[in-house]
Amino acid sequence: MLYYLQYRTVNSAAALQYFIIREEFGLIEVKNISKNYGPVPAVKDISFTVEKGHIYGFLGPNGAGKSTTMNMITGCLAATSGEITIDGHDIYGEAIEAKRHIGYLPEQPPLYTDMTPFEYLSFVGRAKGLSKSELYDQMETVMEKTGITDVADRLIRNLSKGYKQRVGIAQAILGDPDVIILDEPTVGLDPIQIVEIRQLIQELGQSHTVILSSHILQEISAVCDWVIMISKGRIVASDSMENLLANASAAGSIQLETEADEPMVQKALENIAGVTNLAFSKKGNRLLVTVTVEEGTQPGDDIFMALRRENLPVLSMTDGAGQGALEDLFIQLAGESLDAGAAYAADKAAKKEKKEKQAPVGESPLGSAYYDNSADEPATNDEKDADAYKSLFEEKEEEDQ
């Protein structure tokens, strides 16, 4: 008995130590990985650690190296140099052990379209080594979680894009892996589906570690609590969402929309403490004012009251410390990385680089690419969009009835 107790204690101490060591190492360790496609470097010397229990956002414009990095973490692609370990297992050396910890949804869901979701998931489950009873239990929960129970017996070929994406996510979470890696999971979905998929990701984040890649900032800020920004194959920032927002709002700005003349607004705001600069532009008969604010001050209330005293109607007022500031920060960080990579770019694409340098200040080539990409996605307040979208259809249904 005593011996047994002693054995138990020793064993649990060892288990605890093992747990602590694993915690120290992080769930995923990426050390100095690079990937070249022929002579073209796609990812340059990236290192980061993924800890348990967070939702990580992998943010970067198209072609920044997000998918390449994700493919390397999941073993779909071999790194040119560097090391990746998943829960202490090397992704190439101990591939099978390492891959047991990962569920992966690539950019294009890897679906066999001649199968039904039920058949597809049972294939993936068996391939992941689940026993028959485990498989059917898990399939039931997974299909319920992703909302595909109703379409389980239809051919995947005939499903809508949103459902295909759900089947892809279901495949990734089958086998209950520690980390779920989703590469641009909301691309090409309608606003309702986007919100639903985001909710699903947040739910998954409660029980799993999730890594989510996207070129849409709103998505990352809506779902993730840790952000890794990547640009031109390099990591430009890796921090918690709060810290990033705090940094971003340090030197912020306030946007105003008013129906007043420029001189009147100038007069009303010139003596407010914390206001360093005013910039004006016209939108129809309205005046748009960008107030640059001194670091560490929050003169929002004073600005509003000053305009109120002068009887100048404020139609809208946005504090720059938020989405806008984060976007600015991203463009700024990405821009810095562009400068760092300029030596290579000068060698390889001298002409292209020349063009980029001629672009007007504030419209860095990366920045414009970034905005272009987000243009076809709902840019702001997706929830509102989704509501509007829903109500539109509900109204239509009522009319039909």
- Scanning residues 355 to 384, which ones bind other proteins (CB under 8 A)? none
Q: Stretches 16-24, 45-53, 68-76, 387-395: which one binds other proteins (CB under 8 A)?
A: 68-76
CB of 308 to other proteins, least distance (A): 58
Extract the tokens encoding 213: 């890649």
- Scanning residues 7 to 36, which ones bind other proteins (CB under 8 A)? none
96 binds other proteins (CB under 8 A): yes
- Identity of the residue, 7 or 112, whose beta carbon is nearer to other proteins in the bound complex: 112
102 binds other proteins (CB under 8 A): yes
Cα of 87 vs its chain's centroid, Å: 23
Identify the residue among 127, 279, 315, 388 touching other proteins (CB under 8 A): 127
Task: Please name the residues in contact with 398: beta carbons below 8 A apart, sequence gap of 6 or more.
Answer: none
- Identity of the residue, 119 or 257, whose beta carbon is nearer to other proteins in the bound complex: 119
- The tally of CA atoms less than 13 A away on the side-chain side of residue 34 is 9
Neighbours of 111 (CB within 10 A): 17
- Identity of the residue, 124 or 245, whose beta carbon is nearer to other proteins in the bound complex: 124
Extract the tokens encoding 161: 């894009």
CB of 179 to other proteins, least distance (A): 12
d(CA 222, CA 191): 14
Alpha helices in 62-148 (DSSP H): 66-73, 95-99, 117-127, 132-146
Q: Measured between alpha carbons, how far is residue 47 from residues 78, 118, 282, 395 in Å?
A: 16, 38, 46, 51
95 binds other proteins (CB under 8 A): yes
d(CA 29, CA 19): 16
Identify the residue among 77, 152, 272, 340 touching other proteins (CB under 8 A): 77
88 binds other proteins (CB under 8 A): no
Pair 222, 197: CB distance under 8 Å: no
- Scanning residues 36 to 65, which ones bind other proteins (CB under 8 A)? 37
Q: Which amino acid is at 390?
A: K
76 binds other proteins (CB under 8 A): yes
Q: Which amino acid is at 94?
A: E
Q: Stretches 55-63, 99-107, 246-254, 356-364: which one binds other proteins (CB under 8 A)?
A: 99-107
324 binds other proteins (CB under 8 A): no
Count of positions on this chain that bind other proteins (CB under 8 A): 30
75 binds other proteins (CB under 8 A): yes
Token look-up 């840019």 returns 379
171 binds other proteins (CB under 8 A): yes
69 binds other proteins (CB under 8 A): no
Token look-up 């030596």 returns 343
CB of 219 to other proteins, least distance (A): 22
74 binds other proteins (CB under 8 A): yes
CB of 372 to other proteins, least distance (A): 25
CB of 256 to other proteins, least distance (A): 48
- Identity of the residue, 14 or 127, whose beta carbon is nearer to other proteins in the bound complex: 127
User: What's the DSSP call for residue 148?
Assistant: -
SS3 content of the chain, % helix, strand, coil (to 5): 50, 25, 30
Token look-up 């702001």 returns 380
314 binds other proteins (CB under 8 A): no
131 binds other proteins (CB under 8 A): no
Is 196 strand, coil or helix? helix
Q: Measured between alpha carbons, how far is residue 83 from residues 24, 72, 101, 103 in Å?
A: 17, 10, 17, 20
152 binds other proteins (CB under 8 A): no
Contact set with other proteins (CB under 8 A):
37, 71, 74-78, 95-97, 99-100, 102, 104, 106, 108, 110-115, 119, 123-124, 126-129, 171
